[in-house]
Structure 1
Amino acid sequence: MSKWLVCTVGGSEAPIIETIKKEKPDNILFICSDSSQTQVEKIIAGSGYSKKFKIAVIQAYDLIDQCFIEILEAVDKNIRRGKPTIVADYTGGTKTMSAALAMAAVEKGWELCFVTGARTDLIKVQDGTQHSQRVRTDQILLYSYLNEIDRYFAKYDYQACLALVDNLREVALTPDQLKRLTAIKGILTGLDLWERFQYEAALQKLEPFARQLRAFKSELSKVYRDLENIARRMGGAVNYRISYALVHDVLLNAQRRALAGRYDDATSRLYRATELIAQVNLLNLNPPVNTGDIIIQDSWPAELQQRLENRRNPRGKIQLGLMEAFELWAQLDRNFAPIHDDWKNKLLECIKARNNSFLAHGYEPITREQYDHYFRTLKDFLLAIQESQQQVEKFDESKQWPQKLTELL
């Protein structure tokens, strides 16, 4: 692999000559001002360097933001082939040029070096005492990456966070930092699994962090218990009760998608939460009613039995859609019937917007206003149901996941 030396030029030639002799680069890119480019010939002669070199003249050598951009552009223009090792020496040049090169090196992950030696003042080192040394930037990179991780964490983008954590694999860390980064990766992986509804895998991944995530893990355990109880009641077991934990979790998931501006994804989750409200309550009846395979009961009204029988498909199953499930629940539960009458048309309005969306059956994306209306409607509908059932644990938006990683560590 070839090695490029990128160095800022200005002041004494001796430090750069020292770096060239030590690094023995295959190519050199000199970052100069109009006045300092004349020093390149002296540097080449003094170092005995006989390979290829290029010169980039920086115009904004005292404006750090523009200087930073000019240096990056110069490197992109002159170092195009392969993936060479790039060593940046920021010893020479104006203070702005030196700072801009150091910033560029940290940003791009180049190796960094500078020349030091014995001093009698703060202006320059004494000739003959110079030596070039590499600079560790691991702690700078760690700080920068952790800031980026926090930024994506606030958006609930755990995949982006995990990609940034993986980029820190080659950074030298202290034992405490490595321990913390390992915990961060484990928690992020667990949250990402949870976000994608892989609840059992999420529970296992988050188990080592149970103490830090006590409240979180408690909520996840409730959700997983609901899933287990759904399976039990589908199997005919009536001694288990399904709570609203899974419904609440899907609603909070929808809110996280909406906060990221993904209103179609968020609306798909609202639709699933709507469906779950009916499914959970029908399964909580005795005997349990599974909307995917209705078993007609002799105790049901004859007219209802006949209507359901007419829905039996060629596979011999009676299956109900979302609004049909709510209608069946209203007929079987007198407490829900008036709530159904009050909210049916409001729900239909929201579901119509969802059905016309691109991810459902139409061609129009969901707007923020449509999502907000559906969310508020569903939240109020759920609250009306929970109050009629005298539920202790009602849906609470304040239980949304934190947007700061420090709240979990």
Structure 2
Amino acid sequence: MVEKWGVLNHKAKLHKLKQANEQGKLSEDDFTDLFSNAIRRFEEGKYDDCVARLYRLVEMVAQIEFEKEFQMTTDKVKIDILPDSLKERFVANQQNQQIELGLLDTFKVLNDKSENRKTKTFFAKYDDFKKLLSVRNHSRLAHGQTPITKETCEKLSSFVQEVFEIKDRTDFPKLK
């Protein structure tokens, strides 16, 4: 029965997650873990929670790709790597030579300064994301009181899977 649930596979993934966490870096395994948990929450009918996790996953992808590309985290970005369109806005509001980028600005820097495939796909489908983001922002787990529907959750899940090419996922055992 233990093998049926893939416990050995879970142990190996847990070990990799712990190693990455000890180093203080995000990893592809963090991404897989978060996506798997979002789907688990979807299957439980907890759509607000699923969307909150999927949104965090989009942030995580941006952070992982940014760190791979620029060897720095999005909370300690050197102003000189910013495209001119962002530089002006941040220079006026900063005290030192490092700034913190939010989700969209992270993707903008990646789009402007790299050939990152995930970023290019993200912007090709950005209008879809904007609509889903608006619904997420009005949800109870973000800034509003409107519950997330199953349909919205399915759309965001499909967007995330398609744009970020998610193929791997952990299946959780169903406990009774």
Please give the TM-score of this superposition, normalised by the length of structure 2. Answer: 0.82
- State whether residues 251 and 269 of structure 1, in contact with CA within 8 Å, keep that contact through their aligned partners in structure 2: yes
Give yes or no for the alignment of 1:327 onto 2:70. no
| Match runs of 1:319-358 below 5 Å | 319-336=100-117, 338-358=120-140
Aligned pair partner of 2:158 in 376, 387, 394: 376
1:282 and 1:289 in contact (8 A); partners too: yes
The one-letter code matched in structure 1 to 2:168 is D
Q: Is the 8 A contact 1:270 1:375 kept in 2?
A: yes
Q: How many residues align?
A: 171
Q: Closer, same or farther in 2 for the Cα pair 1:357/1:402, shift >3 Å?
A: same
Given that 1:250 and 1:269 are in contact with CA atoms closer than 8 Å, whether structure 2 keeps it comes out as yes
Gaps of 5+ in 2: none
Aligned-pair CA distance for 1:309: 2.0
Q: Which has the higher helix share?
A: 2
Output one character per residue of 1:224-247: Cα deviation in whole Å (capped at 9) or x when no partner. Answer: 233334x26xxxxxxxxx641111
In structure 2, the CA distance between the partners of 1:395 and 1:364, relative to structure 1 (3 Å rule), is: same
- State how far apart, in whole Å, the 2-side matches of 1:338 and 1:316 are: 28
**1:123-134 equivalent positions in 2, closer than 5 A:** none
For residue 396 of structure 1, the aligned residue among 144, 150, 168 is 168
Could you tell me which runs of 5 or more consecutive residues in structure 1 were left unpaired when the two chains were aligned: 1-186, 188-211, 233-241, 384-393
User: Counterparts of 2:75 and 2:121 in 1: how far apart (Å)?
Assistant: 23
CA RMSD of aligned residues (A): 2.7
Report sequence identity in percent: 26
CA contact (8 A) 2:83 2:113 kept: no
Is 2:26 the counterpart of 1:254?
A: no
Aligned-partner SS, 1:284: helix
Match of 1:222 in 2: 16
Q: CA deviation at 1:367?
A: 1.0
Q: 1:332 to 1:224 in 2, by over 3 A?
A: farther
CA contact under 8 A between 1:291 and 1:319: conserved in structure 2? yes
Q: Secondary structure at the match of 1:374?
A: helix
Measure, in 1, the Cα distance between the counterparts of 2:124 and 2:27: 23
CA distance in 2, matches of 1:403, 1:368: 20
Q: Secondary structure at the match of 1:285?
A: helix
Would you say the 8 A contact 1:222–1:245 is kept in 2?
yes
Assess if the C-alpha contact under 8 Å between 1:311 and 1:319 holds in 2.
no
Query: Compared with structure 1, are the counterparts of its residues 301 and 382 closer, same or farther at alpha carbon in structure 2 (3 Å cutoff)?
Result: closer
1:292 to 1:319, Cα distance in 2 relative to 1, 3 A: same
Tell me, in whole angstroms, the C-alpha distance in 2 between the residues paired with 1:338 and 1:295.
22
Matched, 1:280 2:101: no
Pick 1 or 2: higher relative contact order, CA cutoff 8 A, min separation 6.
2
Provide runs of 4+ in structure 1 moved above 4 Å. Answer: 299-304, 314-317
1:183 corresponding residue in structure 2:
none
Relative distance call for 1:274 and 1:324 in structure 2 (3 A) is same
Structure 1 partner of 2:78: 295
C-alpha distance in structure 1 between counterparts of 2:102 and 2:83, whole Å: 20
Between structure 1 and structure 2, the one with the greater Rg is: 1
- Check whether the contact 1:330–1:340 (CA below 8 A) recurs between aligned residues: no
Q: Distance in 1 between matches of 2:55 and 2:83?
A: 30
**Letter of the 2:100 counterpart:** Q
| TM-score, normalisation: structure 1 | 0.38
CA distance in 2, matches of 1:217, 1:367: 34
2:134 counterpart letter in structure 1: K
- 1:88-137 CA-to-partner distances (Å, cap 9, x unmatched) read xxxxxxxxxxxxxxxxxxxxxxxxxxxxxxxxxxxxxxxxxxxxxxxxxx
Q: Quick one: which amino acid aligns to residue 75 of structure 2?
A: G
Provide the residue aligned with 1:266 in structure 2: 50
**Deviations 1:302-340 (Å, cap 9, x if unpaired)?**
55544432342x688522221121111212212335323
What amino acid maps onto 1:396 in structure 2?
Answer: D
